[in-house]
Structure 1
Amino acid sequence: MSLTPRERVLAVLAHERPDRVPIFIGADLTTGILSQAYLNLKTYLGLEPHIEGYLYDWPELGAPLIEETVLEHLHSDVRGVQDRFPAATYHRNRTRPPATPYWDDWGVGQTEIAPDFYYPSIHPLAQAHTLDELLNYPHWPDMNDPTRYAHVPQQAAHLARENRYAIVAAPWLIAPLERACQLQGMQTFLIHLVENPDFAQALLEKIKALCLTHLGHFLKALGDHVDILILGDDLGAQNGPLISPRLYRRILKPIHAEIIAFAKAHSPAKIFFHSDGDVSAFLDDFVEIGVDILNPVQTSAGQMGNLAELKRRYGKKLTFCGGIDTQRVLSIGTPEDVRQEVKRVIEILGEEGGYFLAAVHSITNEVPPQNILAMVEAALEFGRYAP
């Protein structure tokens, strides 16, 4: 029997076998499509090649808000609800002089390092190393600003009344380590984690407190109209962890645990945790602190490529989301390469359920539309479960 998209997603979250593997595209940046790839896809589909809006209403992010017509073409089983930046942040950036940095609500400057590609490269706390400097930082964001959340109740209630797609809440960057690295620069903050741990801990705690205030308002605006909540922090590098598991368990794990516990106390949502790279060393920790869905399962990174072992060890504890390689297969492979990779990943991670098909992070600008559609078509072909 064919399920609705939401029923399909809920079956997987309950570790039951659905009618087919759900397709998870377009809920946020980590599951989205970058601008040029999106325009190429629309052209290939015979649609007008323009962008109607951007995720988080943030053009410099480079990730379109995927239109409903395109989501239907891609058979996505989810629909995202995002927060916004404060109205003052949008006004400041829309009136800034051309070719100048974009400043986010934390005071981080994002410079254009390639045409239409912005990166957080101005770190306002790069020189900070004392608790007084954190106390006196003038640009901590106002998480009580109602313009961040005003649109959320209506949007979530509309999706709930429709009751067709799974509702995915995607607040922007509830990720303490990544925030700290943006504020200080990655190298600087990672050095502080080891050599100045009291300062590093204080910065992470400040970020956590702001994230919890933000999350509280966002979840209240959603009410019960949510199935999945996207959180995360990038803890993996290409061939291993970004920080040692011991350091993670001492400093960051309690912070992640508190954020997840808060979310579960204030929402019925399952926790989707995004962490790039080889995070195999942290998977037991993720299970322990309440992660329900692991994303993006970066198969090109270290031990994350051993899908059979991941499924064997964690298939009853975690739902996997991702696994379709963007670095090589989607970007430079042929449609047949994509088709075979989708088949392979579904056969392993999708055995008896427990898997959402998605690309590893955003579908990048290099990915041709034929490969995006090959991924989706292969999921529809190979992702069917026997009655």
Structure 2
Amino acid sequence: MSCISSSRKMTSRERVRAALAHRQPDRVPFSWGFGPTPEMTAVLAEHLAQRAVDWSALRELTEDVLVINPPYIGPQLPPQVDIWGIRRKPQPYGLGSYDEIAFYPLAEASSPADVEAYPWPDPEAYDYARLREQVLAADPQGLKAKKLSHSVCGNVLEIYCWMTGLEKALTNILLHPEVVHAALERITRFFEHKLRRSLAQVADLVDVLYFADDLGTQRGLLISPRAYREVVKPYHRRLFRLAKVLAPHAAVMMHSDGAVFDILPELMDAGLEVLEAVQVDAEGMAPQRLKAAYGRRLCFYGGISVQSLLPHGSVETVMSECRRLVEVLGRGGGYIAAPTHAIQVGTPPENVLAMLRAVLGEEDYEAALEGARRKA
């Protein structure tokens, strides 16, 4: 059952803004989110080429949300090393590969002084001056909703864990919180600077302020609500509030995988307005439960499982489950449909198309296919 309230076709931006305001759009908005992995992208491109459909065009035509991110223009970084000094290496898993951390630059930091002595990245190493020009060039008519990337807004706990190693980062929260606070303070200042510089250019164009911090596992929380409240929440609150001051009309969204139901009140108190991922396979994350408990205050972005539904369901199951998500989470607005994470290679391409068909509806799906055929 589709959630349609008007015969007038909305633009992507109108559709997303209606959903974020808990108003019923013409249909539930769709975003590719993390998108298919490179290996899966190749599979989709080949599959669609057999039908004379251009994959890149289909993705663009079906995406309601455009990501904004000022490009890096700082000193050249060593291979596989990011701005934080974290080194990664490709790790094959049979059908593809993922990047695994090979060096944790703060692993030996045992005091706030060690943290302060670290060569932290420069937030001025980005091309803010041309950001507005780039956004307008990508969407000259202003039809797409705009999402300011988490690489601007921030993923403070996640970066600390990546710099330190997960086990040590979590034990430090309990045993050496002063070290954690020192690191989170430096990371937060970096993102505060990027937020100010980016939103000075594009605040009026932005609809979603995208933060990220994984706080859940498959079965529960990564840290307790008390640890979150005492150690992490002050930095989230600072960033969320700054973002809303700079772009008051935009919605604060945070990505978190896992079973995060029990920490949502703390996140909403910090200023969260949209939960991204909505990992329905995790414990306690049933769509009906989320909508009933928090649907009046919180929007949901995601929900289409890349763990079970897309890789293992039949086309019919994908269609019915996506329609159920649209009905449950999309009733009255407040939902942007998206995969819960990156779509992995091994997922049947027919299931990806079934997802699109179910969320977009027959008319918009066929129109997107026809548009992508014209560009093939």
TM-score range, shorter chain: 0.7 to 0.9
Structural mapping, 1:229-244, within 5 Å = 229-244=209-224
Which shifted more, 345-354 or 237-246? 345-354
The CA distance in 2 between the partners of 1:283 and 1:259, in whole Å, is 17
Asked whether the 8 Å contact 1:171–1:218 carries over to 2, the reply is no
TM-score (norm. length: structure 2): 0.88
Q: Helix, strand or coil: the match of 1:142?
A: coil
Is 1:317 the counterpart of 2:304? The answer is no
C-alpha deviation, 1:150, in angstroms:
4.4
Is 1:127 the counterpart of 2:130? The answer is no
What amino acid is aligned across from residue 335 of structure 1 in structure 2?
V
Asked whether the 8 Å contact 1:329–1:338 carries over to 2, the reply is yes
The CA distance in 2 between the partners of 1:263 and 1:383, in whole Å, is 37
Q: Give the aligned partner of residue 58 of structure 1.
A: none
What amino acid is aligned across from residue 294 of structure 1 in structure 2?
L
TM-aligned CA distance change 1:112 to 1:150, over 3 Å:
farther
Q: Give the aligned partner of residue 278 of structure 1.
A: 259
Structural mapping, 1:251-266, within 5 Å = 251-266=231-246
C-alpha deviation, 1:228, in angstroms:
1.0
Asked whether the 8 Å contact 1:42–1:48 carries over to 2, the reply is no
Q: Helix, strand or coil: the match of 1:302?
A: coil
Q: Give the aligned partner of residue 76 of structure 1.
A: 63
Match of 2:142 among 163, 166, 170: 163
Q: Give the aligned partner of residue 108 of structure 1.
A: 86
What amino acid is aligned across from residue 124 of structure 2 in structure 1?
N
TM-aligned CA distance change 1:47 to 1:162, over 3 Å:
farther
Asked whether the 8 Å contact 2:66–2:145 carries over to 1, the reply is yes
C-alpha deviation, 1:339, in angstroms:
0.8
Structural mapping, 1:1-387, within 5 Å = 1-25=8-32, 30-46=33-49, 67=56, 69-73=57-61, 75-89=62-76, 92-93=78-79, 102-114=80-92, 116-138=97-119, 140-147=120-127, 149-158=128-137, 161-172=140-151, 174-267=154-247, 268-304=249-285, 306-381=286-361
The CA distance in 2 between the partners of 1:48 and 1:127, in whole Å, is 54
TM-aligned CA distance change 1:129 to 1:86, over 3 Å:
farther
Which shifted more, 156-165 or 284-293? 156-165
The CA distance in 1 between the partners of 2:112 and 2:51, in whole Å, is 53
- Give unpaired runs (5+ residues) of structure 2: 1-7, 365-376
Asked whether the 8 Å contact 1:80–1:167 carries over to 2, the reply is yes
Asked whether the 8 Å contact 1:346–1:382 carries over to 2, the reply is no
RMSD across aligned positions (CA): 2.3
TM-aligned CA distance change 1:378 to 1:119, over 3 Å:
same
The CA distance in 2 between the partners of 1:160 and 1:336, in whole Å, is 35
What amino acid is aligned across from residue 245 of structure 2 in structure 1?
A
Asked whether the 8 Å contact 2:253–2:272 carries over to 1, the reply is yes
The CA distance in 2 between the partners of 1:382 and 1:205, in whole Å, is 49
Asked whether the 8 Å contact 1:20–1:383 carries over to 2, the reply is no
C-alpha deviation, 1:116, in angstroms:
4.8
What amino acid is aligned across from residue 136 of structure 2 in structure 1?
A
Aligned length: 351
C-alpha deviation, 1:31, in angstroms:
3.0
The CA distance in 2 between the partners of 1:241 and 1:150, in whole Å, is 40
What amino acid is aligned across from residue 103 of structure 1 in structure 2?
V
- Give unpaired runs (5+ residues) of structure 1: 52-65, 94-101
What amino acid is aligned across from residue 302 of structure 1 in structure 2?
E
TM-aligned CA distance change 1:271 to 1:48, over 3 Å:
farther
The CA distance in 1 between the partners of 2:45 and 2:238, in whole Å, is 41
TM-aligned CA distance change 1:146 to 1:274, over 3 Å:
closer
